[in-house]
């Protein structure tokens, strides 16, 4: 019985991660073909061992070599990393004060505030991103409002630029930043700040010397929770970004559906995964350290 319980997560991992990963990895080593499925070779078990050997011999790293020959790909990776880094930073910039304010709000208000942070999840993500098109477009609400107040005389071009992508990402992933930071700030003992003040800190010093270090686990968790999905983000750049917005998620989509080049698309996906493994491992380690510190 106990073994069965332990086996559940392993089976889960094998069926839902390792097997699909193996399939994608195999496709990335194949060649493009005008067939269904659109790649070759496919494994034919009826020919037995020799068939398997012939199948293996046809796999190669050609697609990976191709990725290095066209600068589109590494530029897309770099641009994705840059957008992910910057939007994580902006999300932190907005999220920390919000989480801080929530944690310092009167206790009876906190559940309501928490609800407000989670509320957007009740609508479809896609609809919310579309809504931003309505806000940011040249005739959108934002431009109308700014022109009405007289701040600007010509409408701003925000939609279909990287700015719109940043706005979309910060908006979408803000709850993932706020919630872990709020969790660490909320359980912080208020007397720690009084103790810091008592020992000669100004309010500002107490914030930097006590609040910030104690919020660090939440900040790190929030940053990873934003950074990891942002790196492979596809919907936001393709709806809000312009033609010059280069993100690897978009490239991946184009390879699969516009070019129908599954092998190259698969190799793009494999590289993306490898890039993501580093922050994921760091994230896991952060969680582990926190767990140990709590004991």
Partner 1 sequence: MAASGNNEVFAPWKDRDAVPLIRIDQITKRFGDFTAIDNVSLDIYPQEFFALLGPSGCGKTTLMRMLAGFETPSEGRITIDGVDMASVPPNKRAVNMMFQSYALFPHLSVWDNIAFGLRRDSQDKDQVAARVEEMLKLVQLSQFARRKPHQISGGQRQRVALARSLAKAPKLLLLDEPLGALDKKLRQETQFELMDIQEKTGTTFVIVTHDQEEAMTVASRVAVMNNGQLVQVETPEVIYEQPSSVYVADFIGDVNLIEGSVAALGEGAELAWAEGRASLIGQLGAALSKGQSATFAIRPEKIAISSDEPLDRRNRVRGKILDIGYLGNLSTYHVELPEGPVVKCEVGNRSRIERRDFTWEDEVWLSWSDTAGLVLAR
The residues that touch partner 1, with contacts defined as CB under 8 A, are 189, 191-192, 194-202, 205, 209-210, 213-214, 216, 293, 295
C-alpha distances in Å from residue 26, one per residue of 18, 77, 211, 249:
12, 22, 49, 20
Could you tell me the smallest distance in angstroms from the CB atom of residue 195 to partner 1? 4
Tokens read off for 21:
């990963």
Could you tell me the smallest distance in angstroms from the CB atom of residue 295 to partner 1? 8
The nearer residue to partner 1, 214 or 276, going by C-beta atoms, is 214
The nearer residue to partner 1, 69 or 191, going by C-beta atoms, is 191
Cis peptide before 41 (omega within 30 of 0): yes
CB 42, CB 27: distance < 8 Å: no
What's the CA gap between 264 and 270, in Å, rounded?
10
The nearer residue to partner 1, 199 or 281, going by C-beta atoms, is 199
The nearer residue to partner 1, 34 or 204, going by C-beta atoms, is 204
Exposure string for 57-96, b = 16+ CB within 10 A, e = fewer: eeeeeebeeebeeeeebeebbebbbebbebbbebbbeebb
Could you tell me the smallest distance in angstroms from the CB atom of residue 205 to partner 1? 7
Residue 40: strand, helix, or coil: strand
Tokens read off for 133:
């098109």
Could you tell me the smallest distance in angstroms from the CB atom of residue 192 to partner 1? 5
The nearer residue to partner 1, 192 or 282, going by C-beta atoms, is 192
Q: Please identify which residue in the block is written with the tokens 């559906």.
A: 257
SS3 content of the chain, % helix, strand, coil (to 5): 80, 0, 20
C-alpha distances in Å from residue 155, one per residue of 82, 147, 159, 163, 230:
28, 7, 11, 15, 29
The nearer residue to partner 1, 75 or 285, going by C-beta atoms, is 285
The nearer residue to partner 1, 258 or 295, going by C-beta atoms, is 295
The DSSP annotation for 124-164 comes to -HHHHHHHHHHHHSTTSHHHHHHHHHTS-SS----TTSHHH
Task: Tell me the angle at which helices 125-136 and 141-149 cross, rounded to the nearest 10 degrees.
Answer: 30
Could you tell me the smallest distance in angstroms from the CB atom of residue 218 to partner 1? 13
Could you tell me the smallest distance in angstroms from the CB atom of residue 181 to partner 1? 16
Could you tell me the smallest distance in angstroms from the CB atom of residue 220 to partner 1? 13
Could you tell me the smallest distance in angstroms from the CB atom of residue 173 to partner 1? 27
The nearer residue to partner 1, 96 or 166, going by C-beta atoms, is 96
In this structure, how many other beta carbons lie within 10 angstroms of the beta carbon of residue 142?
A: 18
């Amino acid at each position: 019985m106990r073994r069965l319980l332990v086996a559940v997560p392993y089976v889960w991992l094998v069926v839902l991660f390792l097997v699909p990963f193996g399939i994608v990895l195999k496709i990335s080593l194949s060649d493009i073909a005008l067939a269904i499925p659109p790649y070759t070779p496919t494994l034919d078990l009826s020919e037995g061992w020799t068939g398997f050997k012939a199948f293996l011999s046809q796999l190669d790293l050609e697609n990976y070599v191709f990725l290095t020959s066209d600068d589109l790909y590494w530029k897309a990776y770099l641009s994705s990393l840059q957008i992910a880094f910057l939007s994580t930073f902006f999300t932190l910039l907005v999220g920390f004060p919000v989480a801080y304010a929530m944690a310092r709000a009167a206790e009876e208000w906190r559940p309501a505030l928490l609800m407000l942070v989670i509320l957007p999840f009740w609508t479809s993500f896609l609809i919310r991103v579309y809504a931003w098109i309505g806000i940011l477009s040249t005739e959108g609400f934002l431009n109308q409002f700014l022109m009405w107040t007289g701040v600007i005389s010509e409408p701003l071009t925000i939609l279909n630029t990287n700015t719109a992508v940043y706005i979309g990402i910060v908006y979408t992933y803000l709850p993932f930043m706020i919630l872990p930071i709020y969790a660490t700030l909320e359980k912080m003992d208020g007397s720690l700040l009084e103790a810091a003040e008592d020992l000669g800190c100004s309010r500002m010093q107490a914030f930097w010397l006590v609040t910030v270090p104690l919020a660090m686990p939440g900040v790190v968790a929030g940053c990873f929770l934003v950074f990891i999905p942002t790196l492979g983000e596809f919907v936001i750049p393709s709806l809000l970004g312009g033609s010059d917005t280069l993100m690897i998620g978009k490239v991946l989509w184009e390879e699969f559906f516009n070019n129908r080049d599954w092998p190259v698309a698969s190799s793009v996906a494999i590289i993306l995964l490898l890039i993501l493994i580093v922050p994921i491992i760091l994230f896991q380690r952060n969680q582990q350290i926190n767990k140990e510190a709590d004991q």
